[in-house]
Each structure stands twice: as structure tokens, then as C-alpha cells.
A and B are shown apart, each in its own frame.
Chain A
Amino acid sequence: MKTIFFLFCTLVIQNVSAVTTLAVTEVSPGIYVHFGPHQLPDKINHGEIANIGFIIGDSCVAVIDTGGNPDQGYALKNTIEQITIKPVCYVINTHVHPDHILGNIAFKQSGVKFIGHKKLARAMAVRGEYYIAKASDQLAVKLTAKHIIAPDMPVKRHMTLDLGGRKITLTAHPTAHTDNDLTVFDQNTDTLWISDLLFIGHLPVIDGSLKGWLKELKRMEKQDYKVVIPGHGPAVTDWPKSLQPEKKYLQTLLSEIRKMIAKGQFIEDAVNQVGYLDKGQWKLFEQFHKKNVTTAFAELEWED
């Protein structure tokens, strides 16, 4: 009889796991992360490259980023349902990039509030159509305008949400990685979900302001956090040490490009000369470095 019961259980579990789920790691009590691979979004990974996950409170769950396509969003939802019976009450988007927002539709139902930086809605409006077109061309993912889901609750500077016995504080940052970066701090476990303000292993990608990003990092570097969860790369427990490679890369771009501008050199020179020393340390360097230099140069030539 025992054996039969055991078999029955096995069957049930197999049945459940037939639903698509994501591998997640509990990095702090009640905080689960699915770690994305360091890859370019393509037709094989369908844009599923970012770290996404959720935080479970006594009364409900906050989702932090929903993935690179609707299917990944549904898989994240299934994963949550296997781990807890508590309902999702908030979906927090850390910024506009498609690998973080394109699973939003999986959570669109009454009782779920979408939250983002006060500039997130505008960024989605300006880029949505472009992301939809590119998803079809480059990710083999069919999207329509309904997949771009803007926040119901904009965060101006700070916002604290109560998940039941668990308060999380959201911070809307000035322009850094993008102009709509939001971070999530869990008070109970001293965990900061910093998302794409921190890249580990994957070359940092500038899509906002090099100067603004460095300024935010220098400010946050002085804080203590037990666990920090980047947007790309492993969760770390040695903040601010784990920040140093990114800071060094960005700082090098800043000082080298400033020097070139002062010497009267041009953007064409900068993309071939600046920042190649630490090339070997980064994944996807070839794919993003020259674009970073271009973006940074165009920003820095307007200084003074």
C-alpha cells in the first residue's frame, strides 16, 4: 500500500512538472531568482537572458521583472504557483529593456498592480513598437501592443510596499543604466535587487548616462547590503567588492573618453582605442563595447 501511495505521488509530481517552470534559487529567505545566461537575445533563447524572480510575503507575492517573452512570464507564474499558494499582488519592472518586461502579460489580471519608475511608461511608449518589431525579427517571438504593459503605479522617488510581515522599498533612480531604473530593497533580509545597475560577468550596457550611472554607483557603494541581486550575473554577498569590475570599466570609459575629447580626437578614434585593457574579463565585450563608447562619447562631448 505504501508503495502504491508513493507511486501515486510520483505521478502527481510528474504531472505538475509537465507545466513549464523555471529553475529558481532562494538567494535570501523568501526571495527567489531565476538566473539568465550571458547570451545575446536570439531566436534560440527567445530573449530569456535576464535575472527575474519574486519575493514572497505573508499575504502576497511581488514579482520582480517578468522575462524576455510572454512564455517566460507564464513559466515564472507557474513556478510561483508551485512554491506558494499566496497570490501575486505586484509586478515590479526594474526598467524598460525587453528582457525584463516582455513577460508582463502573464500576470495581467485584476488584483495585480504593475509598478515602475515614473519614466517607465514613457520609455515603453517610445520603444514599444520597436521592441515588437525586433522580437519578431530577432527572437522569433510574435508580440502585439497588448504585450507592452505600462505601470499602474509610478514611483517618483521611493515607495514602500507591504507584502504581509515584509516591507520592500522601491527606489526610482536618476538616469543611469537607463532613464527609468528602479531598485527593490527587502528590509527583512537586507537584500537589494539592484537589477541592471549591476552587471557581473556580462559587459555593462550603457543606455542612459555614463556619468549618471557612476554617480549612483558611488552613492550606493557606501551602503551595506547582505545580498545584492544583479540583472545579469550571480547574486553576491560581498557588496561593494562585487561592484568594482563594473565601476572600473565605466570609470575607464569616462576618463579615457574625456582625455580624447580634450585632445581633439573624434568618436571614430575612441571606438577603436578606449577601454580594451580589461576586454578578457567580460562576456559579450565584442557585442557591446563599441556601442558603449559611442553612447558615452556622444554624452561626454556635451560636458562644459
Chain B
Amino acid sequence: MKKQIVNAWFLVLLITPLLASAAKDERDWNKILKKQYFSGQSIHQSNDVIEIEAPYRAEDPALVPVQIISHIAQTKAQYIKKITVFVDKNPFPFVGEFEFTPESGKASLAMRVRVNSYSYIRAIAEMNDGQLYMTKKFVKASGGCSAPIGADLDAAMKRLGKMKFRLDKGVKKDDATLAQLLISHPNITGMQMDQVTRFVKKSHFVDHLKVTFDGKPVLTAKIDIAISADPNFRFYFVPNKKGVLKAEFSDTSCESPTSRKVCTKGKSYSSSYTVNPSI
């Protein structure tokens, strides 16, 4: 479903304002997601800890750039431990949970997601003291999960598993440093139907990602089909010496696009990048 390949002209929707406002609701969150993921816990609604930046109207529903911006520094005394992201109206709303440490420097994060219909994107930050803070952003997009698999499927399958790190030049020692990780993977949702066989293609997606610097975790993520093809993440780490930034991910294939009960473990991949910060 990569930037995949949507015949672009279908992206313009003729959804009535009535329908659109009906979608701007909290029902799925209140009735299902909150109970399922945060049962019995109280959550503060606030934009002071984290905030979401995303386009109000997405140009490509299969590739919606989402940034989660942290407003607090990661210190040993106070830090964001985990951020969980949902797209309420997606067939499988859970996008991912991302774990940070004080060594992450800053718990800001950017990713690309699929949005299947007009929906809130929401993120919940869990602090080291257990407090929860939620922020959300409404996005107009449609068809991001069922949009057909990418433009050039052959090219995509050929480079599956390839990874790239991108860092700005002139990395400085002890600075919270932005890193971009590109993963080549079609991240098939399992909702793209095969017209000839009438079978839905099985999902095949990246489920675990771990980034370490010099052996210590920087970002640990459990992710799902809402992540766009060719998963792309930006995050921070603190290079306190010369060391290796290492990314490892594994993929999986599940029988149903909306259940994780029957899945077959796939392969694991890893890639390293040496960082030599200047003082």
C-alpha cells in the first residue's frame, strides 16, 4: 500500500460534510480502544507533553507524514517512557508503541502512516512515573489501507530488508541528534484483494524494530500495518562517544488483517552505522 500506488485521482473524495462531521467522533476511542489498551487508567488530555503534527487533508492516504513532538527533555528524573499511537478509524487502529529512555535525548518521533478514513490520529505518552498524557489530531484521508500495493512492486520486493540511516553532517558529542531510518519493506496490510484469486493477500509487515547506540536502546517499537510501505522513522539519540547506531527489525505475516492471533514469524534484518561525533 505504499505511496503505493493509488491512482491519484481517486483521492479526491466527495464525502458529504455530514459524513465528515459524523466521523469526527470519540466513539471508537471511548468504547473500544481506551478499554483495550488503558483499562482502568486515567489519562490527561494535554498538548504540553507531546503534540501531533499532521496534514489536515492528506495528499496520499497511504503515506501520511505524522510527527509527534515532545515538549520535554528526557532526563533521568523525568522522561517519556512510551508513546502509543492510534488511528481511531483504521481497520486495525493500533499504529505502534515506541519506547524511549533517558538516553534518547528527546522523545520526538516522525513516521508515515496509512489512514483509511476521516479519523483522529492520537498519541498517548506514558511518563516514567506512570502518568499518561494524550494528544490528538484530526486527519481527512481515505483508502490508505486498501489502496493497492505500490507503484513498482517488483522494485519494492527486490530491495526488501535494505535499511539506510540518514544523519545531518557535523554530529556533535552529547547533543540530542536527529536520525532518520529508512526501511525497505512493502508492509502489506492484508486488505489488498487479489481480483483473480478472490483471496485477500496475507498481511506481511514489520512488527518489531529496535534501534541501539553502542548497545544501549534508543528506540524500541512494536508496530503494525498502519505504518506505510517502506517504513520511515525519525528519532533522537545522544552520541556521547564514537559508536555504532544499529537497527534491527523483524517481520510477520498474519492470517487476518485485523487479528493478531494467528501469525507466522518472518525474517530478521539488521543494519549498522558508525557515528563519530565532534566535540
- Interface size class on chain A is 35 or more
| Interchain nearest-CB distance for A264 vs B (Å) | 5
- Inter-chain contact B59/A207, CB cutoff 8 Å: no
CA A129 – CA B189 in complex, angstroms? 15
> What number of A-B contacts does a CB cutoff of 8 Å give?
130
Bitwise interface map of A from 204 to 221 toward B, beta carbon under 8 Å scored 1, else 0: 011111001000000000
Main secondary structure of the interface of A (DSSP, over half): helix
CA A294 – CA B193 in complex, angstroms? 24
Docked complex: B1-60 residues within 8 A CB-CB of A? 2-3, 5-14, 59-60
Q: Report if B277 contacts A (CB, 8 A).
A: no
| Interchain nearest-CB distance for A221 vs B (Å) | 22
- Inter-chain contact B110/A266, CB cutoff 8 Å: yes
- Inter-chain contact B8/A207, CB cutoff 8 Å: yes
- Inter-chain contact A298/B2, CB cutoff 8 Å: yes
CA A287 – CA B11 in complex, angstroms? 9
| Interchain nearest-CB distance for A166 vs B (Å) | 32
Hey, which chain B residues are within 8 Å of A287, CB to CB? Answer: 8-9, 12
Q: Report if B143 contacts A (CB, 8 A).
A: yes
Bitwise interface map of B from 58 to 88 toward A, beta carbon under 8 Å scored 1, else 0: 0110010101000000000000000000000
Q: Report if A141 contacts B (CB, 8 A).
A: no
- Inter-chain contact A130/B148, CB cutoff 8 Å: yes
- Inter-chain contact B65/A268, CB cutoff 8 Å: yes
Hey, which chain A residues are within 8 Å of B194, CB to CB? Answer: 125-126
- Inter-chain contact A130/B147, CB cutoff 8 Å: yes
CA A138 – CA B6 in complex, angstroms? 14
**Contact A298:B230 (CB < 8 A) given known A130-B147, A134-B143:** yes
Hey, which chain B residues are within 8 Å of A125, CB to CB? Answer: 194-197
Bitwise interface map of A from 95 to 112 toward B, beta carbon under 8 Å scored 1, else 0: 011110000000000000
Contact of A41 among B9, B60, B146, B159 (CB under 8 A): B9
Docked complex: B159-205 residues within 8 A CB-CB of A? 159, 162, 164, 166, 168-169, 180, 182, 184, 192-198
Q: Report if B154 contacts A (CB, 8 A).
A: yes
* Chain B residue nearest to A208 in the complex (CB): B151
- Inter-chain contact A295/B168, CB cutoff 8 Å: no
- Inter-chain contact B63/A40, CB cutoff 8 Å: no
* Chain B residue nearest to A298 in the complex (CB): B3
* Chain B residue nearest to A271 in the complex (CB): B59
- Inter-chain contact A294/B63, CB cutoff 8 Å: yes
Hey, which chain A residues are within 8 Å of B146, CB to CB? Answer: 129-130, 133
Q: Report if B137 contacts A (CB, 8 A).
A: no
CA A43 – CA B15 in complex, angstroms? 11
- Inter-chain contact B9/A145, CB cutoff 8 Å: no
Hey, which chain B residues are within 8 Å of A41, CB to CB? Answer: 9-10
Q: Report if A42 contacts B (CB, 8 A).
A: yes
Q: Report if A128 contacts B (CB, 8 A).
A: yes
Hey, which chain A residues are within 8 Å of B198, CB to CB? Answer: 145
CA A122 – CA B147 in complex, angstroms? 15
CA A178 – CA B5 in complex, angstroms? 9
Contact of A40 among B12, B166, B180, B232 (CB under 8 A): B12
Q: Report if B149 contacts A (CB, 8 A).
A: yes
Contact of B230 among A129, A207, A266, A302 (CB under 8 A): A302
- Inter-chain contact A207/B151, CB cutoff 8 Å: yes
Bitwise interface map of B from 78 to 109 toward A, beta carbon under 8 Å scored 1, else 0: 00000000000000000000000000000000
- Inter-chain contact A288/B9, CB cutoff 8 Å: yes
Hey, which chain A residues are within 8 Å of B159, CB to CB? Answer: 302
- Inter-chain contact A295/B60, CB cutoff 8 Å: yes
**Which of B10, B13, B67, B193 neighbours the largest number of chain A CB atoms within 10 Å of its CB?**
B10
| Interchain nearest-CB distance for B143 vs A (Å) | 7
Q: Report if B155 contacts A (CB, 8 A).
A: yes
- Inter-chain contact B65/A128, CB cutoff 8 Å: no
Docked complex: A255-304 residues within 8 A CB-CB of B? 264, 266-268, 271, 287-288, 290-292, 294-295, 298-299, 301-302
- Inter-chain contact B110/A209, CB cutoff 8 Å: no
* Chain B residue nearest to A140 in the complex (CB): B14
**B residues adjacent to A (C-beta < 8 A):** 2-3, 5-14, 59-60, 63, 65, 67, 110, 112, 143, 146-149, 151-155, 159, 162, 164, 166, 168-169, 180, 182, 184, 192-198, 230, 232, 234
Q: A127-B148, A130-B10, A266-B110 are in contact. List 14 more A-B contacts (CB 8 A).
A: A43-B14, A98-B7, A98-B10, A127-B5, A127-B195, A129-B146, A134-B143, A175-B155, A179-B151, A267-B63, A268-B65, A290-B60, A295-B60, A302-B159
List the 10 shortest-distance A-B pairs measured between CB atoms, nearest first.
Answer: A128-B195, A290-B59, A129-B193, A127-B148, A298-B3, A125-B195, A125-B196, A291-B8, A126-B148, A134-B10
9 contacts between A and B (CB under 8 A): A123-B148, A130-B146, A206-B8, A207-B5, A207-B151, A208-B152, A209-B152, A287-B12, A298-B230
